[in-house]
Amino acid sequence: MEERSAVYHRAAAARARRLREEATTRRLKEQLEDAIAQHEKIAAAIERAAEPGADAASAQGETPALSSETLGR
């Protein structure tokens, strides 16, 4: 799967919003709303992952797999 930037997903959501404004059927509007929500969700996840300390915060609760095995050696 190709990785894309948060900027790409925000732009895709904006394009979908413009298309939704011109859509004439309820089904198309719903599909575009789903696409908007998905792109915004992905962009937010990318931005959270890119924040300083994002890796440290997720790894804080983790312990090395072998730490208990190597302490007595």
The closest of 45, 42, 38, 44 to 17, measured between CA atoms, is 38
Total number of domains constituting the chain: 1
DSSP string, 19-57: HHHH--SHHHHHHHHHHHHHHHHHHHHHHHHHSTTHHHH
pLDDT per position as a tens digit, 10-56: 999 999 999 999 999 999 999 999 999 999 999 999 999 988 876 65
Domain annotation covers residue 18? yes
Domain annotation covers residue 61? no
The answer to whether 32 and 14 have CB atoms below 8 angstroms apart is no
pTM as predicted: 0.67
Average pLDDT over residues 4-13: 95
Domain residues for 9?
1-50
Dihedral of the CA atoms 58, 61, 66, 70 (nearest 10)? 130
Domain annotation covers residue 45? yes
